[in-house]
Amino acid sequence: MKKEKNILVFNVGSSSIKYSLFEGLNLIDIGYYERLKDKEDYRKSIIQIFEKVNKNNLDLIAHRVVHGGGLKKPVKVNEEVKSIIEIFSEFAPLHNPKQLMVIDFCEKYKKPQYAFFDTAFFSDIPKVAQVYAIPKELSKKFQIRRYGFHGLSHECVSRNLKGKLITCHLGSGASISAILDGKPLDTSMGFTPLEGLIMGTRSGTIDPGIILFLEKKKYSVEKILTEKSGLKGICKFNDFRDILRNLDKKDCKLAYDMFIYSIIKIIGSYVGVLNGLDNLVFTGAIGENVARLREEVCDNFKFLGLKLNKKRNKTNEELISSENSKVKVFVKKTNEERIIIEEILKVL
């Protein structure tokens, strides 16, 4: 009988490591390390993970990497792939460097490593959504285009849903995608994970003139927009749970309302892109767990014939729309690791 491959999947964040151990398609162990502050914290976490999963039984290691540039498919990690991850670290500074660091830590265990890119799902979106209105020669020289992110999540929750679909990945990082019969047409994040929705510490879409103005005033704009803006910039909290606990405070209520408003604006624009809507999906830590937010967002799309089943919504059930709703509304738990495993088994 053919032995199933033992595959260790790493999903590395800006301050965390999630690992999942699979035997073939079967998940056999999972763990989460958070509040990691520096390189040493990551190194110690990797050592502990390999001690726990028994490195001798591993066949290979897979990594979710946020930005892969033009790479469309899973690739085996080599020096060239590592250099691409490093190049695009400039555009995903909170994630790519940490993911590359973990890849380097794993090399001592002498197992084949594969990289899976969050940008791959959006690699072939239409030119009208992909191209920025800047000089063409600059776009070509510096590979400036809409890449999109959270691709593994959007792909996961859109599976088996036909027709006109909008997927909302709402967490500390947040993005929304328009998908037609499984093919993405547009997504709210762009050249970097800064564009689109207001996020935990990221500004989302703002007037580029603000950037020019702050640079003239000698501010470090990159740090401000990636680490000090978004919900944190409005109310000092970047954890949505803290905001929910403090809605009686004016700044927290404003941050909450602005987040919902930014979601409504992008969903509304994608209804236009799709020329209608058949399915709406909420996923991510906020999308899966905050019933109040889902209800307030959906209230703005009653004109589409969208009707929520409030009881099912409150208990975070998978289908939360009413039976007579013209738009089906889902709460789906994303499983990026499952997508990675399915793809790697195809490659092998």
- Residues marked active site are found at 118
- Pair 22, 29: CB distance under 8 Å: no
CB atoms within 10 A of CB 256: 22
Q: Which residues contact 325 (CB under 8 A, 6 or more apart)?
A: 305, 306, 307, 308
Concatenated DSSP letters of 213-243: HHHHTT--HHHHHHHS-HHHHHHS--SHHHH
* 164 three-class SS: strand
The whole-angstrom separation of Cα 53 and Cα 69 is 32
Q: How far, in Å, CA of 223 to CA of 217, rounded?
A: 14
- State whether the Cα torsion 249-198-90-154 is positive or negative: positive
Half-sphere exposure of 344 (CA within 13 A, CB side): 30
